[in-house]
Structure 1
Amino acid sequence: MPDDVRDTAPDLAEIDYEEVSDFFDEKGAVELIALLDGEGYRFDEIDKLLDVSRGYLNDRRDEAVHLGLIVPDQAYRDDSVRRVWTLTALGHYLRQRMRHLGVTDSHERFINARREYQERKATFREWVADPESIEEYTEAMWADEQVHPKELPEDLKELFRQVDDDRF
């Protein structure tokens, strides 16, 4: 095997299955493995995307390395080599099962919902910081003007369609 290709195939006899199971009971473990993919992420990217404290994330990363689920790797981005964390073969197998169970898809929607929430919260904070906009809005409400759209925005309609499609 070439020196630049790391063999991460698991030795099934060496896996401590109880430890692996216990790992996934810990806060942030499922989220970490669900997020990672073949391209890998820098630690600060993982920290930004997951709603888990940096301390927990450090612990989960170290435990995942110890269990043979992730490895440090290198990725070429922005004309430079960067250290990233990526799944091992065992990590890929477990993530594949997560995918089949819908965990990774739900996790991705959760991350996107959090990002969308942050964007909308920022928009609201900008709006509420302008006293004139509050006054205009309040006066329109008092005048019984239609200040809210009668129809949901297209992105919200799609979100509700997805929720309806996810029923059992």
Structure 2
Amino acid sequence: MKSTALQRFNRADEIDYTELSEFFDRKGAVELISLLDAEGYRFDEIDDLLDVSRGYLNDRRDEAVHLGLIVPDQAYRDDTLRRVWTLTALGHYIRQRMRHLGLTESHERLVNARREYTDRKEEFLQWVDDPDEIQKYTEMMWEEQRPHPSELPEEMKQVFRQIDEDRF
């Protein structure tokens, strides 16, 4: 038997397009639909990948189910049958437009950048957790007489300013 969300939309004229449009104005809605795919994600995986509070994610998930954008499904993960959230046909159509506009690719880069940042931050926090390592590093820098950025020649300062400006 089909789920309630699927039963609601047997035809395109049954979709509340105004409600659908309003959904995407809410925090986390675009991110949720952009992330999901045919494989589906467990809720904890969604929570880990998106920079949206769990409360917002719960609300958007429930709203997306109500609108017929996503449904719960089952998939094997780690040799266990798990509940995942996946896109419906309507969800795929909407995500296809996101993909056409380059949004899903941009979102994927953002998710990967967050992962990379988290990994590098963790590495830094492990390093900074050891006062001896900080001391060794600063002593090495002083011994090598590394210049402070304010001591660099003006043309080098310009290069670093340009690099900083180009990053964002």
State the TM bucket, normalised to the shorter chain: 0.7 to 0.9
What is the match of residue 149 of structure 1? none
What is the number of residues matched between the two proteins?
146
Residue 78 of structure 1 and its aligned partner are, at CA, apart by 2.4
Residue 26 of structure 1 and its aligned partner are, at CA, apart by 0.2
What is the match of residue 116 of structure 2? 116
Whole-angstrom distance in 1 between the partners of 2:53 and 2:105: 22
Task: Quickly say closer, same or farther: Cα 1:43–1:91, change in 2 above 3 A.
Answer: same
Gaps of 5+ in 1: 147-159
Q: TM-score, normalised by structure 2?
A: 0.79
What is the match of residue 156 of structure 1? none
Residue 79 of structure 1 and its aligned partner are, at CA, apart by 2.4
Matched, 1:41 2:37: no
Residue 10 of structure 1 and its aligned partner are, at CA, apart by 5.2
What is the match of residue 64 of structure 2? 64
For 1:16-165, list aligned pairs within 5 A. Answer: 16-144=16-144
Gaps of 5+ in 2: 147-162
Residue 141 of structure 1 and its aligned partner are, at CA, apart by 1.7
Q: What SS class does the counterpart of residue 57 from structure 2 fall into?
A: helix
Which amino acid counterpart does residue 12 of structure 1 have in structure 2?
Answer: A
The 4+ residue runs of structure 1 with deviation greater than 4 A are: none
Q: State, as a whole percentage, how many aligned pairs show the same letter.
A: 72
Whole-angstrom distance in 1 between the partners of 2:97 and 2:128: 45
Which amino acid counterpart does residue 101 of structure 2 have in structure 1?
Answer: L
Which amino acid counterpart does residue 76 of structure 1 have in structure 2?
Answer: Y
Q: What SS class does the counterpart of residue 62 from structure 1 fall into?
A: helix
Q: TM-score, normalised by structure 1?
A: 0.79
Give 1 or 2 for the bigger CA radius of gyration. 2
Residue 145 of structure 1 and its aligned partner are, at CA, apart by 5.2
* Higher mean C-alpha displacement, 73-82 vs 53-62: 73-82
Residue 77 of structure 1 and its aligned partner are, at CA, apart by 2.3
Question: Contact 1:10–1:90 (CA<8 Å) still a contact in 2?
Answer: no
Whole-angstrom distance in 2 between the partners of 1:42 and 1:10: 26
Task: Quickly say closer, same or farther: Cα 1:134–1:12, change in 2 above 3 A.
Answer: same
Question: Contact 1:40–1:86 (CA<8 Å) still a contact in 2?
Answer: yes
Q: What SS class does the counterpart of residue 75 from structure 1 fall into?
A: strand
Residue 131 of structure 1 and its aligned partner are, at CA, apart by 1.4
Which amino acid counterpart does residue 88 of structure 2 have in structure 1?
Answer: T
Which amino acid counterpart does residue 49 of structure 2 have in structure 1?
Answer: L
Richer in helix (by share): 2
Which amino acid counterpart does residue 79 of structure 2 have in structure 1?
Answer: D
Question: Contact 1:20–1:67 (CA<8 Å) still a contact in 2?
Answer: yes
